[in-house]
Chains A and B, each alone.
Chain A
Amino acid sequence: AQKVTQAQTEISVVEKEDVTLDCVYETRDTTYYLFWYKQPPSGELVFLIRRNSFDEQNEISGRYSWNFQKSTSSFNFTITASQVVDSAVYFCALTAGSSYKLIFGSGTRLLVRP
């Protein structure tokens, strides 16, 4: 069975702080994809990144960076120099094998205070 765990329910930081959102996944498939989405208060899902199971390279995109470690089944997301506009719920998700179904974690609500 596939499962995604986001143990941090809510995180509150002050603007300009760095923050890391944790994601741990479970799957028996050797081929899988991991995703991060942002859901602002307006509700729409904003795609941030997709990473396949064969590519463990870390990725940086502006203030965002992702650390994929198969040894610990983790795909953590770091925001550096956080801004108020980063306040949202962030979801980690997984598709595995031949399935297109997205399995979402429970989400982490990030509040960045000015």
Chain B
Amino acid sequence: GAVVSQHPSRVICKSGTSVKIECRSLDFQATTMFWYRQFPKQSLMLMATSNEGSKATYEQGVEKDKFLINHASLTLSTLTVTSAHPEDSSFYICSAWTADSNQPQHFGDGTRLSIL
């Protein structure tokens, strides 16, 4: 089946640091990828839709200058949290859309980001 690899799985860094998270589709091409954020004991909230070769579409309330998304190839999307602060600490998870009629979105294993 389709596999999505997300890296790193865990990041701990100081406030003010920029952090890059990668999302790769390993055995299929993904023209569309999604980035979600999940705060502790809460649901997954869609942050943005990433389309290969074009600008990402951000959901209302998500700062595009804060969360930079790049989808330069059909197998890789990156999310960069710029100048991260403690309130950005969260679980970030990506998914890649496929034409699989049974399971159209395949999720990475997530990145747990902790900003000190």
Interface residues of A (CB under 8 A from B): 33, 42-45, 47, 50, 91, 95, 100-107, 109
Contact = CB atoms under 8 A, between A and B. Distances in A.
Interface residues of B, number: 23
Contacts of A95: 104
Contact of A45 (B45, B49, B107): B107
B43 A43 contact: no
B109 A43 contact: yes
Interface in B46-63: 46, 49
B46 A107 contact: no
Interface of B: 32, 34, 41-46, 49, 91, 93, 95, 97, 102-110, 112
B103 A106 contact: no
Contacts of B32: 100
B93 A45 contact: yes
Given A100-B32, A102-B34, A106-B43, A47 B103 contact: yes
A102 B49 CA distance: 11
A50 B46 contact: no
A107 B105 contact: no
A43 B46 contact: no
Contacts of B108: 44
26 contacts: A33-B104, A42-B109, A43-B91, A43-B93, A43-B109, A43-B110, A44-B109, A45-B44, A45-B107, A47-B107, A50-B102, A50-B103, A50-B104, A91-B44, A100-B32, A100-B49, A100-B97, A100-B104, A100-B105, A101-B34, A101-B49, A102-B34, A102-B46, A102-B95, A103-B46, A106-B42
